[in-house]
């Protein structure tokens, strides 16, 4: 799990001792339902509109769309009978709502329905909605006709045959493909957005329902309603690489870019499973029969529609932090080396003074601090370093102190050299006199 940790380290250095203090957090993310918003009857689909910061919730049993700003319903929009899936189109700012029982798609701008698009096939039952930014099209799964309708603006431009009972649909920007969950055939159809043709069919669990893309790993997550699992598809190979057990009857699924987690609505247990990669790390109680999930980047909240309780649960995530003090230090022996070599014509002196001090901290912080102290060795130097690091595992903080000879030491060494040279000269003179 990724966390940004602010750490302050005060370093007091000398040749013989070192004191270090570090503050850092411990691992741990908490999930808390901070609000339950009352909306229309049977809330189902949910989508975020970044142009205004609103959350749009389809009220399946009220034939309306509730518009939420933060934690407050600010508008209720009448649409077609039994609205289900919903998606935002950034190319025109429209919200598209699949009206399941009227074989139409309502198009909303702000809080007003500006168009109603008819689905030509029958029986239709439009259900899931997704946007493809590579071509600007809206893809709508049509449950009753086993097809996907492709909408450009407010016009249906193509109808694509897929598996039986298509429900959820999502776009993968890494390959430009559209993934459709076929609940009746236990497969996922892969559509190439460039040609609007099915290029692959992937077997998954029983009654696949909803689909979400995770850009952090390139995986497609598919909820299997009757298997109580989530199938993980690698978009690079279009193969299932993992199957994750979750709560009973999982339906909606969404990705949270702020922490890289996948959220799955378990309708049968009234919970939300939180997945990190391929592991369930938390289970959050919400309202009755949660259906779909959406992330709001403007406030970092997760919104969950609760069909049975007529509410939307708002989940807040936070990271717990703590401080760690380092009081013990292990200091190595100071090593000093001085060598004088004399011949008849040359003299060489090498002097090295090195002090190494190492301290180990067990906390989720990764860094190495290196400071250099100039002799005399008895001088005490204090320096403070503040830094921010990103880490996922405990590591070692290492401080290294090195010293170099002082001016006095250098003068002494030079004097030794002079004496050595004079001695060599005296020996030479003595030899000559003999």
pLDDT at res. 407: 61
The single residue listed with the structure tokens 């050299």 is 417
pLDDT at res. 133: 96
Number of Cα atoms under 13 Å in the Cβ half of residue 330: 6
pLDDT at res. 317: 87
| Interior/surface letters 359-377, b for 16+ CB within 10 angstroms, e for the rest | bebebbbbbebeeebebeb
Is the entire prediction scored with pTM above 0.75?
Answer: no
pLDDT at res. 406: 53
**Cβ atoms 139, 166 nearer than 8 A:** no
Q: What is the dihedral of CA 359, 364, 367, 372, to 10 degrees?
A: -30
Over the chain (434 residues), the average pLDDT of each successive run of 10 is 25 29 43 97 98 97 97 98 97 97 96 94 88 97 96 96 98 97 98 97 98 96 98 97 98 96 98 97 98 96 98 87 41 40 38 39 36 38 39 40 51 66 56 49
pLDDT at res. 21: 28
The structural domains of the chain, ordered by start, are: 3-26+324-433 (no CATH), 29-319 (2.130.10.10)
pLDDT at res. 353: 39
Residue 88: count other Cβ atoms within 10 Å of its Cβ: 23
In whole angstroms, give the CA distance from residue 192 to residue 137: 12
């Amino acid at each position: 799990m990724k966390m940004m940790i602010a750490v302050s380290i005060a370093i007091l250095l000398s040749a013989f001792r070192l004191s270090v203090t570090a503050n850092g957090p411990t691992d741990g993310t908490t999930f808390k339902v901070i609000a339950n918003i009352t909306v229309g009857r049977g809330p189902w689909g949910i989508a975020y509109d970044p142009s205004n910061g609103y959350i749009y919730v389809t009220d399946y049993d009220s034939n309306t769309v509730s518009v939420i700003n933060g934690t407050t319903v600010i508008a209720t929009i009448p649409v077609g009978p039994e609205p289900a899936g919903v998606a935002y189109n950034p190319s025109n700012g429209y919200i598209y709502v699949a009206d399941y029982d009227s074989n139409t798609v309502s198009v909303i701008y702000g809080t007003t329905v500006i168009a109603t698009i008819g689905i030509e096939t029958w029986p239709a039952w439009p259900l899931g909605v997704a946007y493809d930014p590579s071509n600007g099209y809206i893809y709508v799964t049509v449950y009753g006709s086993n097809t996907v309708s492709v909408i450009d603006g407010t016009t249906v431009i193509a109808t694509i045959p897929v598996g039986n009972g298509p429900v959820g649909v999502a776009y993968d920007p890494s390959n430009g493909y559209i993934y459709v969950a076929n609940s009746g055939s236990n497969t996922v159809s892969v559509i190439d957005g460039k040609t609007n043709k099915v290029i692959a069919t992937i077997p998954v669990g029983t009654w696949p329902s909803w689909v979400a893309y995770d850009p952090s790993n390139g995986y497609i997550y598919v909820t299997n309603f009757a298997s109580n699992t989530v199938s993980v598809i690698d978009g690079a190979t279009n193969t299932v690489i993992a199957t994750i057990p979750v709560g009973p009857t999982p339906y909606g699924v969404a990705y949270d870019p702020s922490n890289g987690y996948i959220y799955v609505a378990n309708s049968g247990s009234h919970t939300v499973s939180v997945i990190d990669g391929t592991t369930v790390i938390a289970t959050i109680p919400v309202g009755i029969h949660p259906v779909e999930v959406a992330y709001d980047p403007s406030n970092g909240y997760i919104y969950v529609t609760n069909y049975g309780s007529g509410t939307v649960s708002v989940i807040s995530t936070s990271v717990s932090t703590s401080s760690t003090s380092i009081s013990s230090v292990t200091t190595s022996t100071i090593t000093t080396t001085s060598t004088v070599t004399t011949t008849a014509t040359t003299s060489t002196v090498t002097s090295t003074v090195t002090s190494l001090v190492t301290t180990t901290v067990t906390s989720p912080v990764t860094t190495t601090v290196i400071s250099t102290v100039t002799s005399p060795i008895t001088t005490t130097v204090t320096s403070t370093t503040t830094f921010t690091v990103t880490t996922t595992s405990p590591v070692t903080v290492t401080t290294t102190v090195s010293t170099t000879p002082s001016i006095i030491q250098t003068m002494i060494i030079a004097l030794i050299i002079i004496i050595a040279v004079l001695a060599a000269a005296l020996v030479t003179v003595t030899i000559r006199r003999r």
